[in-house]
Structure 1
Amino acid sequence: MADWDIRKLQILRTLRERGTVTATAEALRMTPSAVSQQLTNLSRQLGVPLLQAQGRRVRLTDAARLVLRHAEAVFEQLERADAELAAYVHGEAGEVRVGAFATAVPALVVPAVTALRVSHPGVSVRVREAEAQEAYELLAAGEVDLALSLAAQAPTAADPRFTRVPLLADPLDVALPRDHPLAGADRLRLADLAAEQWIFGGSGPWSDITRAACEAAGFRPHQGHAAAGWTAILAMVEAGMGVALVPRMAAVRREGVVMRELAADRPVRHVVAAVRTGAAEAPAVARVLTTLRTTADTALASPGR
């Protein structure tokens, strides 16, 4: 196979465009002798004559024109590669794999993906739903590039493997049956619901969050029913079976449920993103993190009554 040299092919291409060795040398900031030497070397590498003397000038041979005809496709592909590489360097292209807990997917990740499709269509996001422990295992193993979880479930900030990035404080609102006596009360406090039947999971992080929030308000919640999924919890609230704390990110409107923002002692859960240490500087990852922060800033409107 012939020894193709891109730099020398560019010199030959410029000679075709400029017409003389002197003009080619000026365009490429070379000396005429250097241009002639490079083209002589290219002719030797390809095994065909590329230039033919014509008085004081030179002209391209048919072989040189054949070479350039094929080289144009190479130049075109290299231009595309340069453009894509520049986009990658500036965070305009690349794939980012995201592992996220269930409620973060519709509330944060999907809006971020939608925004990126408009602002940076070259950045693709591949989403994998995963609870916190699994997400961090995937992150450590290199199977995802970014993990979203609750701060309470994330590795500590001292863990050298990861860099944590705060995203938002997700308020916990109270879900009440629409006909509940306190559904329209002014400045509802968590302590006002101390005597209620509470609905939350029998174990796990959400059980811990609910118990801790109520205890911080001065009472221990009586668990009337246990459920882990928000659809089941809100269905039971709608049926008048009890009340529940619901993160605003997870709230889904139901006709028979009123979501009330707490006026005092309002608990929150902190949502964080994490990347492997050093990876936050990767352009596409940084672009996704920036978009997630923007999405988080606008994600939480006040709950509807």
Structure 2
Amino acid sequence: MLEWDIRKLQILRTLREQGTVTATAEALRMTPSAVSQQLTNLAKQLGVPLLEARGRRVRLTDAARLVLRHAEAVFEQLERADAELSAYVHGEVGEVRVAAFSTAVPALAVPAVRALRATHPGVSVRVREAEAGEAYELLAGGEVDLALSLAAQAPEVGDGRFTRVELLADPLDVALPPGHALATVEGLRLADLAGESWIFGGSGPWSDITRGACEAAGFSPRQGHSAAGWTAILAMVEAGMGVALVPRMAAVRRDGVVMRELGADRPVRHVVAAVRRGSEAGVAVGRVLSALESVAGRLARW
């Protein structure tokens, strides 16, 4: 029987995700030469070539991809074993590290932490604000245990590294200046705002969400001003400089701004939680997921 080395398989897996030996070394806090040596040794142990040169980069061979396809099941089982052992040793005691995007921190993570303090005080939650790209790198690298993100920015459902949990369809409301002609119109639709000047970021997820929602309603938004923070966006709306979409979950309210629910074409953004596949069996992680689902359920009834 072949000799399988879990650590070396993890290095090969990370190389697949990072694309280069240098990036793999940085992600694993190793030197590039150590990464290369470990992969060379793994290839000798397995008796098959794992890498082939392509310019200054390397690519995985078909044999390497076959090895990783089977290794994913091993990694998942090890996560389950780690989770069950943790539950055996600690019972209801444990720490769960959560990475969450900005509006998810006050709307989801903080209420979940408060609820757990009352129901399961032995479960400690450490929250770290991080947007999706960073959050999933931290999750894959084992530096956090759970990531909260928008579904559009999460890894695909078929990504074998993670288990995704759908949490919430967060409605988007429209922010209008108080004297706006549509501020009191019944059954306001997003399409009614096609001729307005819009305020949103020049790039990034909120720009994509605003543009996508408006285009789904049949028009391309005319960007009058660019801002990323809710304080700046709502200050501009209050000054009559334009209108903006605001996520309900952000719970942002400002005197001098009229927040209106939209009618039939109301857009939403979907929020998900993700954990490393298999780790959801852990008692502490399961408690945090349940708390987040409970908070999300209350938000969904707004």
Correspondences of 1:75-114 after superposition (within 5 Å): 88-89=90-91, 92-114=92-114
Deviation, 1:128, is 0.5
Residue in 1 aligned with 2:231? 231
Is the alpha carbon distance of 1:284 and 1:197 closer, same or farther for their aligned partners in structure 2, counting shifts above 3 Å?
Answer: same
What SS is found at the alignment partner of 1:242? coil
Deviation, 1:205, is 1.2
1:169 corresponds to 2:169? yes
Residue in 2 aligned with 1:255? 255
Count how many residue pairs are aligned between Structure 1 and Structure 2.
217
Residue in 2 aligned with 1:42? none
Q: Could you say which structure has the larger radius of gyration?
A: 1
Deviation, 1:87, is 8.8
Cα deviation code 1:192-249 (max 9, x no counterpart): 1011000001011111111111111111110000001111111111111100011111
Contact in 2 for aligned 1:167/1:271 (Cα 8 Å): yes
1:129 corresponds to 2:129? yes
Residue in 1 aligned with 2:191? 191
Is the alpha carbon distance of 1:277 and 1:183 closer, same or farther for their aligned partners in structure 2, counting shifts above 3 Å?
Answer: same
The whole-number CA distance in structure 1 between the counterparts of 2:251 and 2:196 is 20
1:298 corresponds to 2:298? yes
The whole-number CA distance in structure 1 between the counterparts of 2:301 and 2:234 is 19
Deviation, 1:86, is 6.7
Cα deviation code 1:17-58 (max 9, x no counterpart): xxxxxxxxxxxxxxxxxxxxxxxxxxxxxxxxxxxxxxxxxx
Deviation, 1:109, is 0.2
Contact in 1 for aligned 2:174/2:244 (Cα 8 Å): yes
Deviation, 1:264, is 1.2
What SS is found at the alignment partner of 2:246? strand
Contact in 2 for aligned 1:211/1:221 (Cα 8 Å): yes
Correspondences of 1:271-282 after superposition (within 5 Å): 271-282=271-282
Q: Which amino acid aligns with 1:199?
A: I
The whole-number CA distance in structure 2 between the counterparts of 1:176 and 1:170 is 19
Give the structure-2-normalised TM-score. Answer: 0.70
Cα deviation code 1:256-302 (max 9, x no counterpart): 11111111111110000000010001000000000000001112564
What SS is found at the alignment partner of 1:290? helix
Residue in 1 aligned with 2:208? 208
Is the alpha carbon distance of 1:300 and 1:233 closer, same or farther for their aligned partners in structure 2, counting shifts above 3 Å?
Answer: farther
Contact in 1 for aligned 2:168/2:300 (Cα 8 Å): no
Residue in 1 aligned with 2:147? 147
The whole-number CA distance in structure 1 between the counterparts of 2:301 and 2:235 is 22
What residue ranges of structure 1 are gaps of 5+ in the alignment?
A: 1-83
The whole-number CA distance in structure 1 between the counterparts of 2:264 and 2:226 is 26
Is the alpha carbon distance of 1:87 and 1:176 closer, same or farther for their aligned partners in structure 2, counting shifts above 3 Å?
Answer: farther
* Identical counterparts, % of pairs: 76
Is the alpha carbon distance of 1:87 and 1:173 closer, same or farther for their aligned partners in structure 2, counting shifts above 3 Å?
Answer: farther
Which one scores higher on RCO, CA 8 angstroms, separation ≥ 6? Answer: 2
Q: Which amino acid aligns with 2:259?
A: M
What SS is found at the alignment partner of 1:191? helix
